Amino acid sequence: MWILFAVGASIFWGITYTISEHVYRHISVLTALAISLTVSGVVLGLIALGTGSFGKDIATLASSPKILWLFVAGVIIFIVAELLIGFSITSKNATVAGLIEISYPIFTILFSYLLFRENNLILATAIGGAFVFVGIGIIYAFNR
């Protein structure tokens, strides 16, 4: 089932980037993200309340300083990532920005190890990552 979720996310991110490129031509990245994240927060907050997870999760955050710190850091990093991809899309286009952004699994491997000492790197993953970086080099070289 995880593969369907991952492919589904990829499809929806592709649609999001394509639509965002056209929206950003008319309104700023900051305004677009502020509105979309506010709506997302309200909708997801209501869903979390409805499923009963909101109260439990707030209790977990209140009782675990480590999880709270990681959560706050994650929120800040998420905002920065959203801004950076938005500005990348407006500076070039959604296709090139998305193709470059697909290098994030390499950084996932790196930060999983640096932050949590988790190593999910196997030979196949390393070879795939090398291909991603070669692809980024090709894209960059032909899109200067």
Q: What is the pLDDT along the chain (144 residues), one digit of tens a residue?
A: 888 998 899 899 999 999 999 999 999 999 999 999 999 999 999 999 999 999 999 999 999 999 999 999 999 999 999 999 999 999 999 988 988 888 888 888 889 999 999 988 889 888 988 888 898 889 888 887
- For residues 5 and 124, what is the distance between their CA atoms, to the nearest angstrom? 21
Domain-located, residue 109:
no
CA-CA-CA-CA torsion sign (55, 115, 12, 101)? positive
Give the count of domains, the chain: 1
* 26 Cβ neighbours under 8 A, 6+ residues apart: none
Under 8 Å between Cβ of 110 and 133: no
Domain-located, residue 42:
no
What range defines the domain where residue 14 resides?
A: 2-29+65-101
Output the pLDDT for position 76.
97
Domain-located, residue 46:
no
Output the pLDDT for position 13.
92
Output the pLDDT for position 122.
87
Under 8 Å between Cβ of 98 and 17: yes
Domain-located, residue 140:
no
- For residues 77 and 87, what is the distance between their CA atoms, to the nearest angstrom? 15
Output the pLDDT for position 70.
97
Domain-located, residue 17:
yes
Domain-located, residue 71:
yes
Domain-located, residue 57:
no
- For residues 23 and 30, what is the distance between their CA atoms, to the nearest angstrom? 12
How far out from the chain centre does Cα 44 lie?
17
- For residues 128 and 122, what is the distance between their CA atoms, to the nearest angstrom? 10
Residue 76, CA distances (Å) to 46, 49, 70, 80 in order: 22, 23, 10, 6
